[in-house]
Structure 1
């Protein structure tokens, strides 16, 4: 656990959550008030086994269920927005050097984001621990490495983590490694669920984005700023992921009531986004970070 020991001190109970995807086990979600961050306890020793499910959709291209189809449809829309974000982040930097357009996607899943980047003149690199997802990506012409330790003597203009940081075990060490892989003027782009959102507060222990035990950390805007400031990095921009409130509410409703309720889910997602217009607490947030 090394540097993470501080996160596990002075924890207070927050709520208990059930693993709805694999085991049906109940985990405690605790709060570290200093960081305004929630911590899942305990962390299973065989954590990799908790990703082995057909319901873990980011490792497949499945379109079998209604949820699958919604996820894939939303993904296709957001891919274009992500591409626009990285292009804007790269070419708006105040730098005399011309970027090489090297991007590293961490937790690349089945490679769809990197495929879009590659088709738009980016030099793409990716990391994905799941073998099945890597095999699917390779069929799209995207070769992924198993973990960050496989990357040698390389730095990147853009590093992205789309809903990945919440899965990382050695959090501070991982953040330090990411910083070392960035060029001087590079940008780190991270998307994570926001436990301060309206949909999180409404669904409580049924909120799908808690996703215990796979999600080890549950971030707020305060916790992201504090964590990265320790590595001399700062949040340059914070952006909403408005689609997430609808998808998360749809899944949360299923966990809460045992069945889909698209109308109610859409309403809750809509209310969450409306409230976030004044609070800025969207269901998920994108953080664009840079070195100080």
Structure 2
């Protein structure tokens, strides 16, 4: 830890291990860093949970249903966003593609799609939809893409700086990197503090503010062109946060916090999650 760094919060892994982790505020980059970070060998163990629904198509619990409903609603918004950056070739790489819904949807809208997903179960579910996914980013060779998307993925990747540089190398000149991540400066993050579900330690290794993520990508010659809110996230995250804090979902209270977060964000622009669009500088 550098002399300018300090402990911001101590959070519990509510979904798998029950272990406590510290969030270290890195003053230079203006981000929070999970500490200790699991080794590359141990990290997959923290995803071994049926509750980790980004790797499933489950619709059993209230949280499952909310997640799947939002996922379906967001497909059109995501497509509209990437269409605004497309060229004639319309090549897309989705990193952390999960069960392949986004790629399946965009492939039906004239996009030439590729994807990366390390989870074997998720890859099998995607394959059943006709989407073949690479196991890791290193397997993507001799290709460049107009648009690369990471929907709630960047916070998971080890070796952040190396991964950003790798992603940049996979972009066409003037290509766009579209990244959705939680925002720890949002109202719902401040309300739930250590119970905020979007900290999701230790699966989330990095935690971003608008200032911090912009600074990091600028250092990699990527210019911020556009920021868009993810309004549904405050409700979903609040629902999970209530469960972590009170051992019950309390949907009405969660809805109230999520709504208040979105209303406050109208002036602060600090939504629960944000989409950042970075353009590759030549």
| Mapped partners of 1:272, 1:152: distance in 2 | 42
| Mapped partners of 2:164, 2:239: distance in 1 | 31
Give the superposition deviation at 1:99: 3.1
| Mapped partners of 1:274, 1:246: distance in 2 | 12
The structure 2 residue matched to 1:37, chosen from 28, 31, 34, is: 31
| Mapped partners of 1:31, 1:248: distance in 2 | 22
Secondary structure of 1:191 counterpart: strand
Q: Who is 1:244 aligned against? A: 233
Q: Who is 1:119 aligned against? A: 108
Bigger mean CA deviation after superposition, 163-172 or 8-17: 8-17
The structure 1 residue matched to 2:206, chosen from 170, 193, 217, is: 217
Extract unaligned runs of 5+ from structure 1: 1-7, 91-97
Q: Who is 2:16 aligned against? A: 22
Contact 1:99-1:157 at 8 Å conserved across structures: no
Secondary structure of 2:275 counterpart: strand
Q: Who is 1:74 aligned against? A: 70
The correspondence of residues 239-278 of structure 1 with structure 2, limited to 5 A, is 239-278=228-267
| Mapped partners of 2:147, 2:239: distance in 1 | 32
The correspondence of residues 92-131 of structure 1 with structure 2, limited to 5 A, is 98-131=87-120
Give the superposition deviation at 1:185: 1.8
The correspondence of residues 173-188 of structure 1 with structure 2, limited to 5 A, is 173-188=162-177
Query: Is 1:62 paired with 2:51?
Result: no
Give the superposition deviation at 1:186: 1.0
| Mapped partners of 1:291, 1:63: distance in 2 | 38
Q: Who is 1:9 aligned against? A: 2
Secondary structure of 2:51 counterpart: coil
Give the superposition deviation at 1:9: 2.9
Give the superposition deviation at 1:44: 1.6
Give the superposition deviation at 1:223: 1.0
Contact 1:104-1:125 at 8 Å conserved across structures: yes
Give the superposition deviation at 1:222: 0.9
The ranges of structure 1 where at least 4 consecutive aligned residues each deviate by more than 4 angstroms after the TM superposition are none
**What's the TM-score, normalizing by structure 2?**
0.97
Give the superposition deviation at 1:89: 2.2
Count of residue pairs the alignment pairs up: 278
Secondary structure of 1:252 counterpart: helix
Extract unaligned runs of 5+ from structure 2: none
| Mapped partners of 1:229, 1:127: distance in 2 | 25
1:144-169 deviations in whole A, cap 9, x for unaligned? 00111101110000000000000011
Q: Who is 2:83 aligned against? A: 87
| Mapped partners of 2:218, 2:14: distance in 1 | 34
1:53-84 deviations in whole A, cap 9, x for unaligned? 10000000001111100100011000111011
Q: Who is 2:145 aligned against? A: 156
**What's the TM-score, normalizing by structure 1?**
0.94
Secondary structure of 2:232 counterpart: helix
